[in-house]
Amino acid sequence: MSKIRQILLIYTGGTIGMIKDSKTGALRAFNFDKLLKRIPELNLLECKISTNSFKNPIDSSDMNTKHYEELVDMIAQAYENFDGFVVLTGSDTMAYTASAISFMLENLSKPVIFTGSQLPIGDLRTDAKENLITAIQIASSYENEKPIVPEVALYFEYQLYRANRTTKINAEHFEAFTSLNYPPLAVSGVHLNFNREAIMPYTDKSLVVRKYLDVNIAILKLFPGITEANVKSVLNTINIKGIILETYGSGNAPTASWFIKLLENAIKKGIYIVDVTQCSGGSVNLGLYETSSQLKKIGIINGKDITTEAVVAKFFYLLSLKITKKDFKKAFETSLRGEIS
């Protein structure tokens, strides 16, 4: 007989935790202590579900690194007593939140599955029930006493993705997320099929929690006609330590001398600049075209196929470690949590 797995369900806020008042039509927070009554199908799963919630549920637009710290605290304090974790949060910033948690939980050996919904749990056509039921099933899936998915992942509309490979692509469709540069970890249909070759390997190392993040970064998105004043305003931000440079195609940028000089001077001042593509899929390939060879020459960091959501999280994490400039560049261009190919 299979062991009954202990799953902790954590609610931070978001649409999935709302129900519609039948009289007023207004949305209000759902009492997760009564979850089994609302979704009796959960009783069919071979696991025991416990719940925990933020004292004050946070709209996804208000999520920040202080809330990330609160969330990893909840996971760390319960880590030894549970076999898996399901985190319910707002979908708008879920990819950012889940990416950050993947860096904050080092040597993770248990599933941490993020999910949410486009419609409230009490809505007639809600996607919340399927997302929640399957996320819990994934978190409780073990084989030979080891979890099948020992990493931070995101489940939405029949697809399980590596969390730090995801981006939200649609504000209305149930298929709200995608992972264009990495295959799904699992696909849910008549059967729940795991793509075992794509899943992070299990580790028996002790969990290390990296709570403190350095948020002194900015995003500079290029566009045709961008001015010197535009670029200066970002590069001269007070206390800035890192810049995410969203370039065209495979990492291409203007070759104007003023543009290259501004970036070069920023790097000389100790600011890290990472080149990521504006494209939803694909990778930066510095030096492939003349329009990116100068960036490579002045020491721009190659973001390869990392998402903007993941590069934000990786910046937060690496800046907090206070490592040398050489080690920083090496770490950024290396896969730490499966975030780049």
By annotation, the residues acting in catalysis are 15
Residue 340 CA to residue 317 CA, distance in Å, equals 15
Distances (CA, A) of 166 to 81, 100, 160, 239, 312: 29, 12, 10, 29, 13
Q: Which of 24, 29, 33, 25 is nearest to 12 (CA)?
A: 29
Long-range contacts from 331-334, C-beta under 8 angstroms, 24+ separation: 332/272, 332/274, 332/301, 332/303, 333/301, 333/302, 333/304
Angle between helices 65-78 and 94-104 (to 10 degrees): 50
Angle between helices 94-104 and 308-321 (to 10 degrees): 30
Other CB atoms within 10 A of residue 195 CB:
12
Distances (CA, A) of 121 to 4, 14, 19, 20, 135: 26, 11, 6, 8, 15
Residue 108 CA to residue 222 CA, distance in Å, equals 36
- Do 94 and 114 form a contact (C-beta atoms < 8 A)? yes
According to DSSP H, which parts of the chain are helical? 35-38, 65-78, 94-104, 128-139, 228-235, 257-268, 290-298, 308-321, 325-332
